[in-house]
Amino acid sequence: MIKLTKKAVRLEKRLREYIIAHEYIHTLVMENGHGEMWQQLMDMVMPDWRKRHHDLFWIEKGVWIDPKAIYAAEVGNVTAAN
């Protein structure tokens, strides 16, 4: 289960969607981090995810999910490739 923090809940919808898609893809991919498979799946479910990631990064760092949830926020690890 992905639990958003109170701060994340207040973000605009497209950024909340990005956070949820981001964490959901982590649950599907066995590898850690944001490798090729993770990025390919993100491209499939949310073709503009890099733009959303970029916007979220500059709005506020570390607002994503409850630290007690499965995956820790690691927004700084996503490289805006391509």
In the complex with Zn ion, the residue whose CB is nearer, 47 or 56, is 56
For residues 20 and 81, give the distance between their C-alpha atoms in angstroms, rounded to a whole number. Answer: 20
Q: Closest distance between Zn ion and the C-beta of residue 58, in Å?
A: 17
Nearer to Zn ion among residue 17 and residue 74 (C-beta):
74
Q: End-to-end alpha-carbon separation of the chain, Å?
A: 30
Minimum distance, C-beta of residue 22 to Zn ion, in the bound complex (Å): 5
Q: Which residues, in sequence order, are CB contacts of 31 under 8 Å at separation 6+?
A: 37, 38
Residues between 47 and 76 with contacts to Zn ion, criterion CB under 5 A: 74
**Smallest distance from Zn ion to CB 64, Å:** 9
Q: Which tokens hold the place of 25? A: 């893809």
Site residues (vs Zn ion, CB under 5 A): 74
